[in-house]
Amino acid sequence: MIIGIDASRAATGQRTGTEAYALHLIRALIPLAAERGHTLRLYFNEAPAPDLFPAASHVIPTVIPLRRMWTHARLGHELRSRPPDVFFTPAHVIPIGIRCPSVATVHDLGYERFPAAHPRRQLAYLRWSTRHNARVARRVIADSQATAGDLTALYATAPARIAVVYPGADPDLRRVDDPAAIHAAAAKYGVHSPYLLYLGTLQPRKNLVRLVEAFALSSLHKDGYSLVLAGRAGWLAAPLLEAVRALPPAVQAHVVLPGYVDEADKAALLSGAAALVFPSLYEGFGFPVLEAGACGAPVLCANTSSLPEVAGDAALLVDPLDTAALAEGLQRLTADDPLRDDLIARGYANLARFRWPETAAKTLAI
C-alpha cells in the first residue's frame, strides 16, 4: 500500500507540539511500514534537512514547492494526479477536492472553548479546517479523550469514526545531571536559579497573565525564585507583555521572557527548573507535561481538558481560573520536598504510557 503523508510540518525549524508530533510519528512509522511492506510517500513544500528522516527504499520524499496556498493548490494537485492508496495529514488540513481515502489527526478544539483567545481570521480558519477534516476524513485520530469528546459534542462527528491514539514522549529527551551544562543553558537564556519554568507558545489560551498574577501574589520572588516564560510569542501576546510591565519592579525583575528555546537546550533548562508550571486553559494533549517528566522536573498543571489524562497522578492539578489556587500551588510545590520527590518519581513512571512505536502501530492500523 502507498501511504501519502503531509510531512511539511515535520520539517519546520522551530517546532511546537503539532510539528513535533508529525516528526516523531513519521519517524516511528518508517520502520513499521517496512515490516508491513508499505511505501511512504512524504510530501514537502521545501526540501527537508538531509537527516530529517532515514533514507530507505520504501520512503519517497516528494518535494513540490510553492510559497503560498501550497496545501490546496500544489499538494491537492499532486494527490489528484498521483493519488496514494490513502492520504494522512498528522498536523495540517486535507486538501480540497481530493478523492483518495484520507485520515487526519485533530489535535484540539480549544479555539471553540476559548474563541476570544484567537484573532478573528485565525479563529475562522481553525473552525473551517478542523470541520473540513472531521467531515472529509474516513477516520479521525484524536490526541486525547478530551478532543474526541469535543469532536462529537461540537462538530457532531460520529464516535465510530474517531480513534483516540495518544502521542509518544520524545525518546531523546532525558534528565541532564551535569551542573555545568544546566548552568550554561540557563545563562544562554538569561535565567538564574532557582526558577519556575513555563515552556510553550506565548498566547492567551496558555493562561500566562493569570500565572504572572499568581506568581506576584505568592512570596516566591522574595525567596529569590524567577518565573521563566519560555517560548515564541504567538497571536495576541500583547496582554501578557503588558501584564509583566505592570508588575511592581521588585516582582518584574523576577519574570524572564527568553523567547524560543532551542531543542538542544530544552532538557538542560527543564532539568534545572524547580518545577514546570503549565496552567493552560485548554490542551488537546500537553507535551510539556511529558517533557518535564522525562527530565525530572515536578509539574503543576491545570485540572481541565486533556491535562489530567496526560499527567495522570504525576502532577499537582489546580483550577486554572483560580489565581489564589495557582499561587498556593506554586508555594506548595517549591516548599514540600516529599511532594516534589513523589511527583518526580511518578513523572518518570508516567512516560511508559506514551511510546511512539505504539502510537505508530495504532496509527498504521487505522
In a domain, 292, yes or no: yes
pLDDT tens, position by position, 173-193: 999 999 999 999 999 999 999
Instruction: Specify the pLDDT at position 23.
Output: 95
What confidence category does residue 118 fall into, taking pLDDT thresholds of 50, 70 and 90?
A: confident
Whether residue 272 is found in the same domain as residue 340 = yes
Cell readout for 94 is 486535507
Domain assignment present for 107: yes
pLDDT of residue 261: 93
Amino acid identity for residue 226 in this structure: S
Q: Are residues 132 and 146 in the same domain?
A: yes
- The answer to whether position 24 is within a domain reads yes
pLDDT for residue 15: 72
Based on the fold, state whether residues 35 and 91 are members of the same structural domain. Answer: yes
Residue 122 and residue 46 share a domain:
yes
Residue 66 — pLDDT band, cuts 50, 70, 90?
Answer: confident
pLDDT at res. 271: 98
Rounded distance between C-alpha atoms, residue 197 and residue 273, angstroms: 6
pLDDT in the model for residue 335: 95
- The pLDDT confidence band at residue 36, using thresholds 50, 70 and 90, is very high
pLDDT at 30: 97
Residue 246 domain flag: yes
Same domain, 193 and 265: yes
Same domain? 150 vs 198: no
Whether residues 125 and 30 fall in one domain: yes
Does residue 313 share a domain with residue 265? yes
Tens digits of per-residue pLDDT, 288-314?
Answer: 999 999 999 999 999 999 999 999 999
Alpha-carbon distances of 214 from 34, 191, 260, 335, 355, rounded to whole Å:
51, 20, 23, 16, 34
User: Following DSSP, what letter does each residue of 310-335 receive, concatenated?
Assistant: HHTTSSEEE-TT-HHHHHHHHHHHHH
Say if CB 113 and CB 282 are below 8 A apart: yes
Q: Is 157 exposed, middle or buried (0-12, 13-18, 19+ CB in 10 A)?
A: buried
Does residue 284 lie within any of the structural domains?
yes
Per-residue pLDDT tens digits for 227-266? 999 998 877 888 999 999 999 999 999 999 999 999 899 9
Query: Judging by DSSP bridges, how do beta strands 2-6 and 39-44 pair with one another?
Result: parallel
Pair (99, 212) in one structural domain: no
* Mean pLDDT estimate for the chain: 94
Look up the pTM and report it.
0.91
- Does 331 lie in the same domain as 231? yes
pLDDT at 16 over 80: no
pLDDT at 259: 93
Tell me the mean pLDDT in the region 257-281.
95
In a domain, 174, yes or no: no
Distance CA 198, CA 219 (A): 18
The answer to which of 63-67, 218-222, 337-341 has the lowest mean pLDDT is 63-67
In this structure, are 107 and 38 located in the same domain?
A: yes
Residue 150: CATH number of its domain: 3.40.50.2000
How do residues 76-105 score in pLDDT, each as one tens digit? 999 999 999 999 999 989 999 999 999 999
Does residue 173 fall inside a structural domain?
no
Q: What is the pLDDT of residues 149-162, one digit of tens each?
A: 999 999 999 999 99
What is the domain count for the chain?
A: 2
Q: In this structure, are 122 and 190 located in the same domain?
A: no
Q: Is 42 helix (H, G, I), strand (E, B) or coil?
A: strand
Question: Domain of 269?
Answer: 179-353
